[in-house]
């Protein structure tokens, strides 16, 4: 009986501390730049134990006002065209992904920009049910506490954009030798085009496939409401 009570207290205390820490971090990151993410740490360890790679971590946080309006518009067009309207979950995309997966087709994700931000800031890369459950929890928290502008700002600053490259400023400097504030439409669309697999593709050496994605993204950017700086 004592063991059951002890276990119950342990579970209850763990749940309470998790709630306090998770809400506290979400509130903190509403105002403070995210210093490092779990994915960055994982990549550094992967590089350290791979003799063919150098340890590399490039990241430069910039405020939303220091990012060219072309960058949020490009990822808005390529990654999540319902970003301004949903509450963190694209239910239509999730339904389509579920149906495709049931048919045995290649697994497709349905992650919104909010979910991708959550995965980068708070979680680790995995397909486990635990990770998906935590992702849903943090997505609700972030949508409740952060405005859309902050979600986009954090996303553009933490997302992996190349081998050891994180965020739009580091990517802009690496691939185009200019600050993110001066990215052109074509350059922003190129960066967005490689996001599905930034360690495989590079904006500096675009393949025909990436150039095709860039052209599609540019067309979508023209068709969508300008996201600009007033999200």
Find the radius of gyration of the CA atoms of the chain: 19
CA distance 32 to 55: 26
Angle between the N-to-C axes of helices 185-194 and 70-79, in degrees from 0 to 180, rounded to the nearest 10: 40
Q: Which pTM does this prediction carry?
A: 0.91
Neighbour order of strands in the sheet with 160-162: 58-59, 165-166, 160-162
Q: How confident is the model at residue 144 (pLDDT cuts 50, 70, 90)?
A: very high
pLDDT tens per residue across span 53-103? 889 999 999 999 999 999 999 999 999 999 999 999 988 777 776 666 666
> CA distances (Å), 191 to each of 121, 197, 225, in order?
20, 11, 20
pLDDT tens per residue across span 147-199? 999 999 999 999 999 999 999 999 999 999 999 999 999 999 999 999 999 99
| Mean of pLDDT values over 39-63 | 92
The average confidence (pLDDT) of the chain is 91
Contacts of 23 (CB under 8 A, 6+ apart): 141
Note the pLDDT of residue 109: 57
Query: To the nearest whole percent, how much of the chain has pLDDT over 90?
Result: 74
Determine the CATH number of domain 33-223: 1.10.3810.10
Angle between the N-to-C axes of helices 113-122 and 129-145, in degrees from 0 to 180, rounded to the nearest 10: 110
- Which has the minimum average pLDDT: 91-95, 133-137, 191-195, 210-214? 91-95
């Amino acid at each position: 009986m004592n063991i059951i009570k002890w276990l119950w207290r342990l579970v209850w205390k763990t749940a309470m501390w998790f709630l306090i820490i998770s809400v506290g971090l979400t509130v903190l990151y509403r105002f403070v730049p995210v210093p490092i993410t779990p994915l960055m740490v994982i990549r550094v360890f992967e590089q350290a134990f791979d003799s063919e790679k150098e340890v590399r971590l490039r990241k430069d946080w910039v405020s939303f006002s220091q990012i060219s309006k072309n960058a949020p518009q490009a990822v808005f067009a390529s990654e999540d065209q319902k970003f301004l309207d949903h509450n963190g979950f694209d239910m239509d995309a999730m339904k389509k992904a579920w149906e495709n997966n049931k048919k045995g087709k290649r697994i497709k994700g349905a992650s919104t920009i909010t979910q991708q931000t959550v995965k980068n800031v708070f979680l680790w890369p995995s397909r486990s049910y635990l990770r998906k459950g935590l992702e849903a929890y943090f997505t609700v928290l972030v949508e409740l506490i952060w405005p859309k502008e902050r979600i986009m700002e954090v996303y553009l600053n933490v997302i992996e954009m190349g081998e050891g490259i994180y965020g739009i400023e580091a990517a802009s400097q690496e691939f185009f030798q200019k600050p993110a504030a001066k990215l052109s439409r074509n350059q922003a669309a190129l960066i967005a085009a490689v996001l599905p697999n930034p360690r495989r593709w590079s904006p500096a050496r675009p393949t025909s496939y990436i150039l095709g994605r860039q052209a599609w993204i540019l067309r979508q950017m023209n068709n969508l409401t300008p996201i600009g700086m007033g999200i």
